[in-house]
Amino acid sequence: SQKIEQNSEALNIQEGKTATLTCNYTNYSPAYLQWYRQDPGRGPVFLLLIRENEKEKRKERLKVTFDTTLKQSLFHITASQPADSATYLCALGRFNNAGNMLTFGGGTRLMVKP
């Protein structure tokens, strides 16, 4: 069965450093991959999408890479700030007549210390 793995251990980094989160998957051929941010007690919020034919996507301080050979995506936050502390979820998707179906990973909690 398809499996999406994100590091379940929290990632602790110092303010100003670059945070790198990993999303690995098996038994899946996604058409695209999305990253979401989730704060405690809130629903996930969409951040970025990268398609299978794209190697890299950037948005402000965020950068996502997608390697379909390694079956891995890396999510980078440069110049991290305490306000970036949250849980980050990756989600794999493909288009079909049942909608833009997503399968989510378990998320990685990021803690940015001042």
Contacting residues toward another protein, per CB under 8 A: 4, 8, 32, 34, 36, 41-47, 49, 89, 93, 95, 97-107
Does residue 74 contact residue 88 with C-beta atoms inside 8 Å?
Answer: no
Residue 17 CB neighbour total at 10 angstroms: 13
3-state helix, strand, coil in the chain (%, to 5): 5, 60, 35
Rounded least distance, CB 17 to another protein, Å? 27
Of 5 and 13, which has the nearer Cβ to another protein?
5
Rounded least distance, CB 83 to another protein, Å? 19
Rounded least distance, CB 91 to another protein, Å? 8
